[in-house]
Amino acid sequence: MSVRAACLIAAYLVGSFPTALLVGGRRGHDPTAEGSGNPGATNVYRIMGRRAGALVLCGDVVKGVAAALAGAAVFGRAGLLACGGLAVIGHCFPVGRWRHGGKGVATAAGVAVIAFPAVAALALAVWFAVFLPRRKASAASMAAIVVVPVGAAVTGRPGWEIATSAAIAGVVVLRHRSNVGRLLRGQEESLPSRPHRRAS
**Residue range 109-151, pLDDT digits in tens:** 999 999 999 999 999 999 999 999 999 999 999 999 999 999 9
pLDDT at 100: 87
Q: Which of 109, 173, 122 is nearest to 151 (CA)?
A: 122
Domain ranges of the chain: 3-185
pLDDT at 200: 35
pLDDT at 195: 67
**Angle 24-106-34 from CA coordinates, rounded to 5°:** 30
pTM for this predicted structure: 0.94
